[in-house]
Amino acid sequence: MNRFVVVSAAVFLLISLAYLPLLNELYWSTLTSLIPPVKIVADLLVTNGTIFTSDKSLPFADSMAIRNGRVLKVGSFTTLKDFLGDGTVELNLEGKVVVPGLIDSHVHLISGGLQMAQVGLRGVTQKEEFCRMVKEAVQNAKEGSWILGGGWNNDFWGGELPSASWIDEISPHNPVWLIRMDGHMALANSLTLKIAGVTSLTDDPVGGTIMRLPSGEPTGLLIDAAMELVTSFVKEISVDERREALLRASKYALTRGVTTVVDLGRYFPGTTDELSWNDFQDVYLWADSTKKMMIRTCLFFPITTWSRLVDLKLQKGHVLSEWLYLGGVKAFIDGSLGSNSALFYEEYIDTPNNHGLEVMDPEILSNLTMSADKSGLQVAIHAIGDKANDMILDMYESVAAANGERDGRFRIEHAQHLAPGSSDRFGRHHIVASVQPDHLLDDADTAPKKLGFDRAEKESYLFQSLFNGNALVAFGSDWPVADINPLHSIRTAVKRIPPKWDHAWIPSECISFTDALTAHTISAARAAFLDQHLGSLSPGKLADFVVLSTSSWDELSKDVSASVLATYVGGKQVHP
């Protein structure tokens, strides 16, 4: 009898334990059914527009809900109206077009901000105007202080290169240092050359050229690595000036609809590797910690400092905040077309026997790239000439083979002139083409004079060819080399009509409006490993977007003419 009771009790207990999860689930489902669901309320509901999401799963919508700075949902107003509630701000677009916040894939942000407060020579078309602007700067400066500036392009006044003799008489007591628009050549007056000790006896440094008179005396122009002969004597710009430059540049970028930039820093041939790190410590971390950041910024550092970046990423990770991201490392292999220092297979026709410059030893660069990639860093290398691009494509393929295939997203910055067949190699080997469409507006007249008509036509700015080869193409400006203006850049890529021309330059390389816009949004984000956070108006991503002046997507696609009405970052209006 007792045994029967014990066995029965044990069986009952086992059955009870087996059904306990079901009973528990039944209890909680009953309880939760009695509690009304918590309503999710949007902070901002954007309605009545044409919203291009840059997300292939839902390319267009008429409404978008935003909460806590991120996209909650996109779709029709009918599907989003339930997110309306107390505190929701409704933005009626009145039919206007909205695009994701525009990404500039290649800028020198602090340099751009500094140049806005210096002698700005962009667009100067006459020698007399050049000299007048320098004279005004000298008259407004203290005796002995440096006159800094740049942006000049000798092609705008017929091609004659400036020399120290242009400005010596108007600047006898002030050292002058004026950087060409491409950053690969600079003009020094005679006082600057004297301070730096540059004479007829000074040898050209490796990767650089001192332009000289027939007598051997320097003209005042220094190219690429030769610029370092002077830059080490230029007084470093103060922390406060650099901080002001960041804020000034950020405000300007927002007026152009730019909400994110990839900043390659103040690192050029002829400058110290420390500038980018100083700006990171003194400017960016300060702006982030004091909540003064206005645009999201992905930072790249000189490749020679790759191990420092590895240590920093291990300590801090890729994402420092919603504003600041650690990118990869940057290097140079050649110079620029305008300075006749881009590296080509054939010689320049306007400077016989000159094929351009290798501004860094290829073996050293390959070893640095190998180490950086093996440590998990993204590598971006400046290459403009056809030979330079092939050298980097070859190197990337070799590094990938040695280190093993991974999603490294090697980048070539500019990819400006490509030998036949080279455009296909980008897509085949998953190499990012980070290009700047507005550069072609300056080069359309210049390239044939330097390369010859046939070479210029076959090799220059092969955007459609890159797309045909399934390359990941990211658009940028290279500001302050060209203006930071993505809408203008998109128009250039679609139309390819240079100033004073009535037809496209190399029309077969014109691309579609959607491809061009994508290159400034989701593709630009993907090219810098930012696509998990931004680049499209997808649920969960940061709510950065731009309201354009047009109400017709079809007209926008055909005419590519619109302006920025408003810029929003994190769902908040920041311009105007």
Q: Mean pLDDT, the chain, as a whole number?
A: 92
User: Whose structure tokens read 């999603």?
Assistant: 407
Q: Where are the beta strands (DSSP E) in 147-305?
A: 147-152, 176-180, 185-188, 208-212, 218-224, 258-263, 296-302
User: Whose structure tokens read 């036509």?
Assistant: 457
Residue 489: what pLDDT? 98
What value does the mean pLDDT take over residues 40-61? 96
| Longest Cα–Cα distance in the chain | 124
User: Whose structure tokens read 């006749």?
Assistant: 340
Q: How far is 446 from 106, CA to CA, in rounded Å?
A: 22
Residue 390 is which amino acid?
D
Residue 13: what pLDDT? 46
Q: What confidence tens digit (pLDDT) does each residue in 512-561 have? A: 999 999 999 999 999 999 999 999 999 999 999 999 999 999 999 988 88
Q: What confidence tens digit (pLDDT) does each residue in 329-350 have? A: 999 999 999 889 999 999 999 9
Residue 32: what pLDDT? 45
CA-based nearest residue to 515, from 506, 503, 524, 507: 524
34 versus 155: the higher-pLDDT residue is 155
Q: Which two tokens stand for residue 37?
A: 């669901």
The model's confidence at residue 11, banded by pLDDT at 50, 70 and 90, is: very low
Residue 400: what pLDDT? 96
CA-based nearest residue to 308, from 362, 400, 371, 399: 371
What value does the mean pLDDT take over residues 147-162? 88
The model's confidence at residue 207, banded by pLDDT at 50, 70 and 90, is: confident
Residue 271: what pLDDT? 74
